[in-house]
Amino acid sequence: MNLPHKRSVLSLIILSTITTASFAAEDSIELTDIEVIGTTPLHGVGLPADMIATNVQTATAEDIERSQSLDMTDFMTRTLGSVNINSAQNNPYQPDVQYRGFSASPLLGLAQGLAVYMDGVRLNTPFGDNVHWDTIPQSAIASINLMPGSNPLFGLNTLGGALSIQSKNGFTNPGHSIQGYWGSFNRRAVEIESGGNDGNLGYFVTGNWFKEDGWRDDSPSEVKQLFANGSWRSETSTLDLSLTASNNNLIGNGPAPVELIDINRRAIFTSPDVTENRMQLLNLTGSHWINDSLQLAGNAYYRNNKTNSFNGDGADFDDDGTFLLDDDGNILGDQNGNNILIADAINNRGSIEESSGGLQGQLTFLNDIAGYENQLVTGASYDKGSSDYQASVEVVDLTDARATTLTGIFVPDEAVDVSTKNRTYSLFFTDTLSLTERLAVTLSGRYNNTEIKVKDNLDAASTINATHKFNRFNPAAGLTFAFNDMASTYLSYSESSRAPTPSELGCSDPNDPCTLPNAFLSDPPLDQVVAKSWEGGLRGHWGQSIAWNAGLFTTTNQDDILFISTGGTTGNLGYFDNIGKTRRQGIELGVSGDQGAFSWAVNYSYVDAEFRSPLKISSPAHPNADGNGDILVKSGDRIPGIPAHNFKLVADYAVTPKFSLGGDALVNSNQYYRGDESNQLGRLAGYTLVNLHADYKLTSNIKFFAKLNNLFDKEYANFGLLGDPSEIFDGSGPGRTPAMSDPRFQGVGAPRAGWIGIKVSM
């Protein structure tokens, strides 16, 4: 952007926004090439990227399609800086996404530190703040913004960043297409897309069906997703009503002992581990220009999500040689009052039904202040959620294939029936003032007031029956300064907070550990987590085709919450606790170019994630634990599961107007095992992956495509934790031989795989 025009940036945005409402059907209209970033969950008018005082990363539907990624998490992992995944479940639709060392995971028990929004709707669940990535159709995504830092404008849980998704509609994505592909692991998928408009009314619908056998033993999955949108546009107003729905059956049999991996990388530890997700989301969004300098925008939504889980695992009960015993040494009885004989496994069954809804509105003022260009956004939101959670434990045996049987023998003392209610209202503002043609200053803030009620439906006297209240005002400030039309700098400070979730509040007593996600036993209070971030850097352009950025960041969490393992075959028995301070800090470097037929991007990040408070935590599977199963964590010990170095290279080349080739390379350094917070053991090795893709346009409407993942068939793992393999592999017979004692478990990566497909557009 040329400096003489920077003072008129907001005027261009106003003109572009209003004109788009009138001429959205004409994709030839192009008033400006300024990249505009939505600074709130509703996006609204937004700001030019070079007026935002953080390193925001963006991508469009075209970028996602070009990469031939499986879903949005796969795309982010391959292309966006400071993003990596942990395959804790070993299912392609259930990754733990890490950004700058903060997580957004579908699993309860992992500390969540990222907020995820789609068209203004917060997708973190009411029960555990976790994110079901499989319920977000990639084919519905028009654009994504990855917002770094403790951005208070995106509400609770934005400790390390926020992901804001904008969906497609009939004005932005007219046309029709159908595509399908097939290949390795017997994976096959079909995707349809159709959209159009008549200048005032528009529609868009897309559906996705995915099914595979999985590359590991006994690991099939099926995903069915739907997104539909109806739109209305006038010269000053927009209105969109959308439906997102999914019906998914996912099997991810989790990490395996390293000794088993050495024998057979496809083998599983125990099975099954099934997750069924059913989700429906209805969202109404709208905007209206009251006059040339005042816009009103808002949304109202309702979401229902039901998750059923069935997990076969090793038993964790004591016994007297004949019968199973409880923690007090008494013989366990089943639901009929009979003594329970020794068994070597259990089936954990769980069901969570979550409903949530809310309203959000914001006003954007574009009036000058004392002759200086200014944009002020102020608004409010109200979100309410309820969750019903039931769980049971069935005592069973393992087959020779280490799959659990069905016996109908349940342990009443392990049954759970918990109801929770969440309510949060927020007030927020952000103001950006252009003090000169070169200097812009932004001040932001958000006040959150949260109430969480937890009720044990089986025990009226339970200590988890309580109401918890949390409130806080989180501020942010930033400035951007342009040295010239080719380089600028930015600096920001921000704060955000995360209230403990119902799942954490119901499992926070070290004397009464819970088996995730199956138990709620006691309720000592937990403090909310507060994150404080600094970020600064340089960015700019070389010529007209190369962009670059270099930045530093640091985020410190106060009263961070961690799930502390006290046992279980794979460390799933434990409790949540405030552990003091943790810190993530690092460096981000990026450069990208687009020279005609050749486009490329390189991203490097260094993330130093460490504990800043000494603590003693339980890790009974750790070989160096003391007699009580505890390890000592020092200030400066690294947080497990987070590789320090992350490097990505993406390139695409149009060999001819019809044929193009592309690929990406990912390098992750080593990481510590979860359960080795004291950093006493060896690390999980780093790895390098190379993926290729190609497409050939037979005609303007027919395209063939192919992709090859893990070109060099690298044997790698991107997740590690400590557990006790001897509970299953005790050398006693078929399926349990040889005996194993190494406590390291790994989430292994998929081998080389390829797929071919065809897309027909109309």
Query: pLDDT (tens digit, 9 = 90+) per residue, 380-405?
Result: 999 999 999 999 999 999 999 999 99
Query: In the predicted model, what is the mean pLDDT of residues 749-756?
Result: 97
Query: In this predicted structure, what is the pLDDT of residue 67?
Result: 94
pLDDT for the residue numbered 11: 53
pLDDT of 25 higher than 50: no
Cα angle vertex 609, ends 605, 610, to 5°? 155
Which residue type, as a one-letter code, is found at position 349?
A: R
Q: How confident is the model at residue 467 (pLDDT cuts 50, 70, 90)?
A: very high
Local structure of 131: helix, strand or coil? coil
The token pair at 653 is: 């080349």
pLDDT at residue 701 above 50? yes
Give residue 8's pLDDT. 52
Cα–Cα distance for residue pair 392/612, rounded to 1 Å: 38
The boundaries of the domain holding residue 110 are 3-761
Give the confidence band of 463 by pLDDT, cuts at 50, 70, 90: confident
Q: What is the DSSP letter of 655?
A: S
* pLDDT over 60 (residue 562): yes
Among residues 521, 682, 655, the alpha carbon closest in space to that of 597 is found at: 655
Structure tokens at 620: 């009974």
Collapsing DSSP to helix, strand or coil, 217 comes out as coil
* CATH number of the domain where residue 441 is located: 2.40.170.20
118 or 519: which leads in pLDDT: 118
Burial class (CB in 10 A: 0-12, 13-18, 19+), 287: buried
Whether residue 95 has a cis bond before it, omega within 30° of 0? no
Mean per-residue pLDDT of the chain: 91
Cα distance between residue 96 and residue 110, in whole Å? 9
Q: What is the per-residue pLDDT for 29?
A: 35
Query: What is the per-residue pLDDT across 214-224, written as a single tens digit (0 to 9) for each?
Result: 999 999 999 99
Q: Please tell me the total count of domains within the chain.
A: 1
Contact between 592 and 600 (Cβ < 8 Å): yes
- Band (pLDDT 50/70/90 cuts) for residue 12 is low
Question: Using CA atoms, how far apart are residues 107 and 88, in angstroms rounded to an integer?
Answer: 9
- CA-to-CA distance for 760 and 699, rounded, in angstroms? 9
The helix or strand, by DSSP H or E, that contains position 204, with its residue range, turns out to be strand 201-212
- Reported as a single tens digit per residue, the pLDDT across 281-324 is 999 999 999 999 999 999 999 999 999 999 998 887 888 889 99
CA atoms within 13 A on the CB side of 267: 17
> Distance between CA atoms of 176 and 221, rounded to whole angstroms?
27
Of 2-6, 30-34, 349-353, 583-587, the poorest mean pLDDT is in 2-6
The answer to whether the bond into 743 is cis (omega within 30° of 0) is no
Q: Where are the beta strands (DSSP E) in 292-368?
A: 294-314, 318-319, 324-325, 345-365
Average pLDDT over residues 742-758: 96
pLDDT tier at 31, thresholds 50, 70, 90:
very low
Answer for the pair 532, 404: CB distance below 8 angstroms, yes or no.
no
Pinpoint the alpha helices (H) of 387-545: 502-505
- In this predicted structure, what is the pLDDT of residue 500? 87
Is pLDDT at 520 greater than 80 in this prediction? Answer: no
Which residues, other chains included, contact 429 with Cβ-Cβ below 8 Å and sequence gap of 6+? 376, 377, 378, 379, 444, 445, 446
> Omega before 220 cis (within 30°)?
no
- pLDDT, position 21: 46
Both tokens of 755, joined, read 């797929």
Confidence of residue 253 (pLDDT cuts 50, 70, 90): confident
b/e map 366-393, b = 16+ CB within 10 Å: beeeeeebbbbbebbbebbbbbbbbbbb
Structure tokens at 679: 């950093």
CB-CB contact of 280 with 245 (8 Å)? yes
pLDDT tens-digit map of 657-684: 999 999 999 999 999 999 999 999 999 9
User: Would you place residue 13 in the very low, low, confident or very high pLDDT band (cuts 50, 70, 90)?
Assistant: low
Task: Indicate the pLDDT class of residue 417, thresholds 50, 70 and 90.
Answer: very high
Whether 512 shows a pLDDT value over 70: the answer reads no
The whole-angstrom separation of Cα 39 and Cα 47 is 7
Is 80 exceeded by the pLDDT of residue 490? yes
Q: What is the pLDDT of residue 56?
A: 96
At 576 the pLDDT is 79
